[in-house]
Structure 1
Amino acid sequence: MVSWLLLAISTISIFSDVTTASASDQCLGVDQRLLLLELRNSLVFNASESSKLVQWDQSANSWSGVTCEDGLVVGLDLSEESISGGIDDSSNLFRLEFLRSLNLAFNAFYTVAILSSLANLSRLAHLNLSNAGFAGQIPVELSCLTKLHTLDLSWAGLKLEKPDMRSLIGDLRELRELYLDGVNMFACGNEWCDVLSSSVPKLEVLSMSSCSLSGPINASLMSLANLLVIQLDGNNLSATVPSSLSNFSNLKTLSLWGAGLHGEFPHEIFQVQTLQTLDLSSNSLHGSLPEFSKNNSLQTLVLSDTDMSGRLPDSIDTMRVTLKGVKLEFVKILTMFKLIDFSSNGLAGPIPDTLGDLKLLHVLNLSHNALSGSIPPVLGNLGQLESLDLSRNYLNGTKLA
């Protein structure tokens, strides 16, 4: 649940620059309609699972997933169409030369390499091949798509070795969103920060979870001043967290769960007023964490499996617990939270009644701690609560209202 919520918060629309209205018979030229029909006839897909391709014909309003402008196809969304083949170097797909947006995500191109012919679609601003089953080396020809604003190659069984990361993104100066989650980037070593900082100055979303990255997060990354989202979960950075991350004045999401981080977590990061989601779970972090700014925007805080100990507070105005023996404070801004996960720690003592004041809370997880006493009946007043987990504690009480 946490992973999907983080994804929902952090991801910016991949087709934001292209209208989402479906093309009609009136706005598509005859040649464009013929190209689309020939493309549909060449594709291998399961008609029973298709909601777009099966509708394509010569009639009006039948071109689901197609966006046109001045009679030309500028957007093609064939995501979740169970396509398993039929695209090669001679495909009509590459004759749609005015395409600015192409989405083939969540299909079934299992073990098929990404075609270098995609470079022929030189007007592309948005390319999404995520979860599509592509495999093997990412072709360097994608570096020719110099107008790209969004590139999503995540969770597709790919690797980035030769050519390397610099060869892929070195010329993508207009890139705003980069999703490489699950791409094997072990061969990139610890140079990825330097490559990013020198290649994609306009980057706003950086998502490279489970990429076999190594650390550290060095100071060069701070030159990407426009970053809104940083997701580096599931890597082996084996490093401390630099305090300079707090210099990202527009940062909304910082997700570092299971990233092999250690040492003192810089308290300055908690003062980033735009930060909405912070996940530090499953890391060996410690440090003095100050109270949050009164203008804090935090809605999701995940500190599970971080050796937290001590008592939950009696007052929500200033909440105090201990992270590896160091005081941790939360001010009344917690009333804005929608998700709190302090599970798998060493918290002791009672659950305070003041948790019932968190009226926007959707998820509260205090499981696998050493909490004791009665379950406060006021938790039953949390009308937005969808998930409450107090298991593996020493609690007692009556049924919640």
Structure 2
Amino acid sequence: MGYAVIMLLIVFLCHEVSSISILPHKHQTISLLKFKQSFTVDPSASYYCRKPYPKTSSWNTSRDCCSWDGVVCDDITGHVIELDLSCSNLTGTIDSNSSLFQLSHLQSLDLSLNNFSNSHISPEFGKFSSLKHLHLSDSNFSGQIPSEISHLSKLHSLRLSTIYDSNKLRLTTHDFKSLLQNLTQLRELHLFGINISSTIPLNFSSHLTTLNLGYAGLYGIIPESLFHQPNLETLDLGFNYELSGYFPKTKWNSSASLIHIGLSGVNFSDNLPESLGYHLTSVRYLFLQSCNLRGPIPESLSNLTRIENLYLSYNSLNGTIPPGMLSLPSLKFQVQFTNLDNFRGQSAAGSCGCQPLFKP
């Protein structure tokens, strides 16, 4: 009897495991094919991609949906957990009835660089409770970003930038603060070109490594706490022309990790502090054009031995260009100063005017 019971249990468990792995595939296959059928393929839809190709074109029932281009399933449950259709030449709209939202176990969704024909981002995106990565950049969405996105509390990266068609998407001041309130696990936030028209809130995740809020209509003063984010590697607030700021007088908490700083067009009305070259030792990209900077260039900038791109043009800097800046070992490209009459002495940069200087 004991042996028979054990065998029955084995058969039962095998049946259950088989059901777990087969049923999701059947339902998900139907959902994915319906999603595919709601679009046409148009090469111009992914015009800005280097190598676009229609991933959905190869989707058919002759193969398991988990082996389709852009689809990844969980090895145990069989649920679709990743869907990457970026640069897939998709043209059409996504409404709240889309079969996409039946894929409730998604952890990563990338629909960037397609053409969703000015459709709004559906509130249904907020129901992907397991989602860690949501990438919808440059896909021709328009309108208000739904507050339901803030329900995605497990998000590690959120990319909604509209680099090629800016300001079609909006995010109100209240929604911006509320959005951040729940995204406590966020590592990357890309909202370049989103019409936020807001001051910068204070409640960013302490896990944040990348913050891109360029060309977003931000105004007011940059909170100094932003410079003290402990894990920040990329800070880009460029081209927010009504935004002002002050460089921290003490060491930036994030200085050891900062690699990319983009503050072009932000009004600092200040000298470059000597501390800049002592604390930002890991920085590779420093963009400070048109920041209303004045005074001398600090000698300490010669300490930025890892810097590759340095932009200081269209400011009111004066004095002598530190000789060490002309021999920084990693510098590949440097935009020179527009007001060379303010500089004393001769240098390799002095003959370049406003033109780029390329280092061999």
TM range (shorter): 0.7 to 0.9
Residue 165 of structure 1 aligns with which residue?
176
Residue 294 (structure 1) shift: 5.1
SS of structure 1 residue aligned to 2:29: helix
Residue 232 of structure 2 aligns with which residue?
227
CA–CA distance in structure 1, aligned partners of residues 238 and 282 of structure 2: 20
1:368 to 349, 353, 359: 353
Residue 150 (structure 1) shift: 0.3
Tell me if structure 2 keeps the 8 A contact 1:217–1:242.
Answer: no
2:314 to 302, 305, 323: 305
1:87 to 76, 91, 94: 94
CA–CA distance in structure 1, aligned partners of residues 156 and 311 of structure 2: 30
Residue 57 (structure 1) shift: 1.4
Q: How big is the alpha-carbon RMSD for the aligned residues of Structure 1 and Structure 2? A: 3.1
SS of structure 2 residue aligned to 1:215: strand
Tell me if structure 2 keeps the 8 A contact 1:52–1:78.
Answer: yes
1:129 aligns with 2:161: no
Alignment of 1:387-398 (within 5 A): none
Q: 1:60 to 1:287 in 2, by over 3 A?
A: farther
Tell me if structure 1 keeps the 8 A contact 2:209–2:234.
Answer: yes
Deviates more, 1:90-99 or 1:138-147: 90-99
Give the number of equivalent residue pairs: 318
1:243 aligns with 2:257: no
SS of structure 1 residue aligned to 2:178: helix
Q: 1:31 to 1:48 in 2, by over 3 A?
A: farther
* 2:29 partner letter: R
Alignment of 1:52-71 (within 5 A): 52-60=55-63, 63-70=68-75, 71=78
Alignment of 1:252-267 (within 5 A): 252-267=259-274
**TM-score, structure 2 as length reference:** 0.78
Deviations 1:217-260 (A, max 9, x none): 22232452111110011012134333357332211111111223
Unaligned 5+ residue runs, structure 2?
A: 1-21, 46-52
SS of structure 2 residue aligned to 1:262: coil
Residue 305 of structure 2 aligns with which residue?
296
**TM-score, structure 1 as length reference:** 0.71
Residue 19 of structure 2 aligns with which residue?
none
Decide which structure has greater strand share. 1
Decide which structure has greater helix share. 2
Deviates more, 1:115-124 or 1:270-279: 270-279
For the pair shown, the structure with the greater C-alpha radius of gyration is: 2
Residue 7 of structure 1 aligns with which residue?
none
CA–CA distance in structure 1, aligned partners of residues 98 and 233 of structure 2: 37
Residue 329 (structure 1) shift: 5.2
Q: 1:222 to 1:280 in 2, by over 3 A?
A: closer
Residue 291 (structure 1) shift: 2.9
* 1:128 partner letter: H
Tell me if structure 2 keeps the 8 A contact 1:51–1:81.
Answer: yes
SS of structure 1 residue aligned to 2:324: strand
* 2:331 partner letter: F
SS of structure 2 residue aligned to 1:170: helix
Alignment of 1:2-401 (within 5 A): 29-46=25-42, 50-60=53-63, 63-70=68-75, 71-155=78-162, 157-161=168-172, 163-186=174-197, 188=198, 190=199, 192=200, 195=201, 197-236=202-241, 237-244=243-250, 246-248=252-254, 249-271=256-278, 272-288=280-296, 289-292=298-301, 296-307=305-316, 323-325=317-319, 328=322, 330=324, 334-342=328-336, 344-346=338-340, 352=348, 367-368=352-353
Tell me if structure 2 keeps the 8 A contact 1:169–1:200.
Answer: yes
Tell me if structure 2 keeps the 8 A contact 1:365–1:389.
Answer: no
Residue 111 (structure 1) shift: 2.5
Residue 342 (structure 1) shift: 1.0
Residue 168 (structure 1) shift: 1.6
